Amino acid sequence: MDTQLESFLNMMGEAERAGGRVLYELTGQAQSLELKELLKKVAHDEGYYAGELAGHVRRLGGSASNKTGDFVEKVRAVDDFKGKLELLNRGQRWVIRKIDESLPSISDQYLQAFLRIMAKGHHVNIGALEDALKEGLF
Confidence check: pLDDT of 60 > 90: yes
Check residue 105 and give its pLDDT: 97
C-alpha span between 91 and 75 (Å, rounded)? 10
* Residue 137: pLDDT band with limits 50, 70, 90: confident
Check residue 79 and give its pLDDT: 96
| Residue 21 CB partners (closer than 8 Å, separation 6+) | 68, 72
Average pLDDT score over the chain: 98
What would the pLDDT profile of 14-52 be if each residue is shown by its tens digit? 999 999 999 999 999 999 999 999 999 999 999 999 999
* Residue 109: pLDDT band with limits 50, 70, 90: very high
What would the pLDDT profile of 111-136 be if each residue is shown by its tens digit? 999 999 999 999 999 999 999 999 99
Full domain range(s) for residue 29: 3-134
Q: How far is CA 65 from CA 32, 76, 85, 97, in A?
A: 35, 23, 26, 21
Residue 10 sits in a domain whose CATH number is: 1.20.1260.10
C-alpha span between 138 and 133 (Å, rounded)? 8
Confidence check: pLDDT of 81 > 90: yes
pTM of the model: 0.95
* Residue 138: pLDDT band with limits 50, 70, 90: confident
> What is the count of structural domains for the chain?
1
